[in-house]
Amino acid sequence: MVKMAQFLFRGLRQYSTKLGKTALCCKCELNTFKLISYVRPSFCLSLNKFYSSEVEKKSETLETSRLIDQLDLFGENKDERQKEKDKAIKNLKIGFFFIGASLILVLGSGLYVLMDENYYKHDEDEKESYLLRLYKRGTNAIGGFFESMRAPSYEKLLPDPLPYPYIQPPYTLIIEMTDLLIHPEWTYTTGWRFKKRPNVDHFLEQVSQNYEIVVFTASNGFNVYPILDSLDKNNVIMYRLVKNATDYIDGHHVKNLDRINRDLSKVIVIDWNVDSVKLQRENALVIPRWTGEDSDQQLIQLAEFLNVVSASEVTDVREVLSYYKQFNNPLEVFKENQRKLLEMQEEQKLISGSLPVNKARGSWKDKYLYGK
């Protein structure tokens, strides 16, 4: 129907042109109405509606194309994005300005310090050239900076021992947290989770009676503190040392007991990583790493070992630990030594009567308990 109307409309225009008149049927003006009076009024109205709809469609298309031209690839207004871009460039310039000013300030301060003769006059040879002295000052300053980055945040890791009448435990136990008290596990569904080792509560309760318990780990504090808050319900762990308390040596975070502010003859370190205790290996008891087994009973054996050491009132724990450090699993060796000691005590009971465990002969203890 539409195509037929277009055909008739073009025919009428050609016919009116031949007559020297302009036929504007779509507008139905009076000067052309006489020429096409034979056309039905309803047909004229339909042509008018068709022409109006086409004009509206074209205007809508032009408006849509104009709006689309204002949008970029991300569907956002180009003007708004340009404003945001200009603002980001301005902020970037401001940031570079402050960074440059900070660098100039730092370098200026460094040069001032390097050229300060009063600061370095006690450590330099005045016979050396001025440029050589400046070079040595710079290398010493850079070396000191990196040394401060590797060193702990504070010189004394623990406060002074508690004075009388406060109770200070006779021994200090330093123990690693990761893979000794808890084991981190990661899955796609749960993310990181920390598994509590079997018998942790029993271990802490037994050991806290004679030991000052210190958790010393190379993990960050914001991870360690929430875990220990949940793990230590009875608050028996007296101190917590984290990554900023370690010495960074040869790519490893090392626990330097010289900074612990305690008598090293009474300090025992429990760890699974030899590199973490390499500075004072004679104070360390290195035991196998726990990987999350539910049937693990190693903490019970460890608590028994530590309690025997404290009950025996050992004057220097390094003498005991020096024997056990030669074994891959020292707690199994301790368990076997205990079994031999009990057998010897049973034999002695049959011969000369009953002897309590804590009153056994010193030679037996040295041989079967401490390995001397």
Which residues partner with 195 through β-bridges?
Answer: 183
Distance CA 214, CA 237 (A): 6
Predicted pLDDT of residue 141? 65
Place of tokens 């003859």: 265
pLDDT in tens, the chain (372 residues): 545 555 555 655 555 554 444 444 444 444 444 444 444 455 454 545 555 565 566 666 666 666 555 555 555 566 777 788 888 898 888 988 889 888 888 777 666 655 555 555 556 666 677 667 667 766 766 666 555 556 667 788 999 998 888 889 999 999 999 999 999 988 888 888 899 999 999 999 999 999 999 999 998 888 899 999 999 989 999 999 999 899 888 888 999 999 999 999 999 999 999 999 999 999 999 999 999 999 999 999 999 999 999 998 899 999 999 999 888 899 999 988 888 888 887 887 777 655 454 444 455 556 556 655
Predicted pLDDT of residue 207? 95
Predicted pLDDT of residue 188? 83
Nearest to 298 by CA among 195, 172, 232, 200: 200
Place of tokens 């016919």: 15
Predicted pLDDT of residue 22? 43
**Which architecture, in CATH terms, is 171-315?**
3-Layer(aba) Sandwich (3.40)
Contact 266, 288 (CB under 8 A): no
Tell me, what DSSP letter sits at residue 234?
Answer: T
Predicted pLDDT of residue 280? 93
With a CB cutoff of 8 Å and minimum separation 6, the contacts of 355 are 345, 348, 349
Predicted pLDDT of residue 39? 46
> Six-digit token pair at 251?
């790519």
Counting runs of H as helices and runs of E as strands, what totals does the chain give?
A: 12, 9
Contact 194, 183 (CB under 8 A): yes
H-run or E-run covering 184: strand 182-187
- Count of other CB atoms within 10 angstroms of residue 341: 18
The structural domains of the chain, with segments of one domain joined by +, span: 2-69, 78-150, 171-315, 327-372
Length, in residues, of the chain: 372
Tell me, what DSSP letter sits at residue 177?
Answer: -
Place of tokens 């050491």: 309
Dihedrals φ, ψ of 370, to 5°?
Answer: -105, -5
Contact 288, 298 (CB under 8 A): yes
